[in-house]
Amino acid sequence: MITDFPDLPLPLPDEKDVLAELAAFEGTPVIPKDRRRTVFPVITKEDVFTMLLSANARPEKVVADFAEAYRSYVGAAYALPVASGTASLHVALVGAGVGPGDEVVVPAFTFIATAQAVVAAGAIPVFADIDPVTYCLSPAAAEAAITDRTKAIMPVHVHGLPADVAALRALADRHGIAFVEDASHAHSAKVGDRTCGAFGDAAGQSLMADKNFPLGGEGGIAFFATEEARDRAVEYLRRNGIDYGMSWIAASFGASQLKRLPYYDRIRARNAAVLGDQLRETGLFSPPVVPEGSTHAYNMYRIGLHPEAVGLDDLPVHAVKEAVHELLVAEGVPAREWQNTPIPCHLPFRHRQGFGGGWPFTLNPAAARDYTPEDFPAVTAMLESTLVLCRELRSPVEYERLARYGQAFAKVARRPDAIRKVVGDRKFPLPWEKAARLG
């Protein structure tokens, strides 16, 4: 049996290597080229065996058993397993009562599927700015975006940090609209002892391969607070002849992975804490902020840059970020931007063809706006001054690798001269002046 498991941990870094020349300037990288790949999820004999046994059961039962086990883990009242996260958001919105021509307030920073699910439901996404600290939907900005045609707000627990659930719930209640969660980054994320996915009138969650709780390939699940909402979603699919069903193969893989989820969660939390301490010591970098009472799931780990801490505040912050990005990648840290423009600046929201002929945007022209990046100052500030790690904290990422990431950040932070040189040698466009990327 061959499993795709790493053979050896990296050696612990040598402390004095932090003083060595940067890899981008002909030095030795902190992580050698052939040791950069990380493996997730780990596929074991148990996964394969569970799948083989499931082949003997009725497919609907395999899917229903998985959905029930995960619903109970999340603590939501009702669940509907589906083929993808996008499908889960679509049915969550429909279940919450969203229909053609309605407006749904969504954050301008998320993955494009959040907004496209609104379009799939025949409604118009209305974009609002994020909180500059948590990067989740700002309750004040969401409130300002509400009109008498707003049917729901759909915050995203972005990167895996719960949005301000209390404020957003209160806002929805005050306006008599639905509160729908996009919990696609937030498996096991919590506020107090309650898990994301169980807060809203409905929620959607991706279970695709790049998520903290992956079903192998593609998958998703919607949660509902009431039977009526779940039934509305089921009836919608039936009436429109839409098959969004989850595959039994994905479900059986999920059943064995679910038992491992608490272990994955602990390793990610530990890795995030270790890296956080290392980043704080550099001055140039800061880890994500986690409000008191929240548990961050760290599907992504967004790192702040503070050029003023190393005397680089005379340079444009986005150029410092780009230079630091290049220097880190050369050291073997797979940092990335993850989004380079506000979502409403992606093509589908600029041309607004929708499903053809402009539907559903034509149903409510007042809500179909031309947005610019400048409409979302908190999103643009974040895009200019932060970098992201994604899979790099996930089990089985070893302590030694984390220590090396920390060393690479320290190595770059102690070389403002090198950062200044890269900035001086190049002309970096603003993030949103580059072609919009989906991830």
Ligand X SMILES: Cc1ncc(COP(=O)(O)O)c(C=O)c1O
* Cβ contact 289:134 at 8 Å: yes
Alpha-carbon gap, residue 97 to 107, rounded angstroms: 20
Provide the minimum distance between the beta carbon of 327 and ligand X in the complex, in angstroms, as a whole number. 28
Q: Which stretch binds ligand X (CB under 6 A): 36-44, 179-187, 233-241, 316-324?
A: 179-187
Identify the residue among 24, 51, 93, 113 touching ligand X (CB under 6 A).
113
Give yes or no for residue 134 binding ligand X (CB under 6 A). Answer: no
- Touching ligand X, residues 219-248 (CB under 6 A): 220
Give yes or no for residue 208 binding ligand X (CB under 6 A). Answer: yes
Identify the residue among 84, 134, 282, 407 touching ligand X (CB under 6 A).
84
Alpha-carbon gap, residue 339 to 327, rounded angstroms: 20
Give the number of other CB atoms < 10 A from CB of residue 204.
Answer: 32
Provide the minimum distance between the beta carbon of 317 and ligand X in the complex, in angstroms, as a whole number. 25
Q: How many residues appear in the chain?
A: 439
Give yes or no for residue 187 binding ligand X (CB under 6 A). Answer: no
Give yes or no for residue 156 binding ligand X (CB under 6 A). Answer: yes
With CA atoms as reference, report the closest residue to 393 among 334, 331, 325, 328. Answer: 334
- CA triplet 355, 356, 362: central angle to 5 degrees? 85
| CB of 29 or CB of 342, closer to ligand X | 342
Collect all residues with Cβ–Cβ distance below 8 Å to 169 and sequence separation of at least 6: 179, 199
Provide the minimum distance between the beta carbon of 412 and ligand X in the complex, in angstroms, as a whole number. 28
Give yes or no for residue 339 binding ligand X (CB under 6 A). Answer: no
**β-strands 150-153, 178-182: how paired?**
parallel
Both structure tokens of 52: 């083989």
Q: List residues bridging with 78 in a β-sheet.
A: 224
| CB of 205 or CB of 407, closer to ligand X | 205
Q: Which stretch binds ligand X (CB under 6 A): 20-28, 133-141, 182-190, 365-373?
A: 182-190
- Binding-site size for ligand X (CB under 6 A) equals 15
Both structure tokens of 185: 């980054």
Identify the residue among 13, 81, 85, 276 touching ligand X (CB under 6 A).
85
Q: Please state the φ and ψ torsions of residue 296, each to the nearest 5 degrees.
A: -85, 135
Q: What does the per-residue mask of binding to ligand X show for 273-302, with x meaning CB under 6 A?
A: ------------------------------
| CB of 113 or CB of 323, closer to ligand X | 113
Task: Using CB positions, name the residue nearest to ligand X.
Answer: 85
Give yes or no for residue 31 binding ligand X (CB under 6 A). Answer: no
Q: Which stretch binds ligand X (CB under 6 A): 84-92, 173-181, 192-200, 362-370?
A: 84-92
Give yes or no for residue 114 binding ligand X (CB under 6 A). Answer: yes
* Cβ contact 363:122 at 8 Å: yes
Both structure tokens of 225: 């607070």
Provide the minimum distance between the beta carbon of 116 and ligand X in the complex, in angstroms, as a whole number. 9
* Cβ contact 101:365 at 8 Å: no
Q: Please state the φ and ψ torsions of residue 85, each to the nearest 5 degrees.
A: -65, -40
Alpha-carbon gap, residue 76 to 200, rounded angstroms: 9
Q: Binding residues for ligand X, per CB under 6 A?
A: 84-86, 110-111, 113-114, 156, 182, 184-185, 206, 208, 218, 220
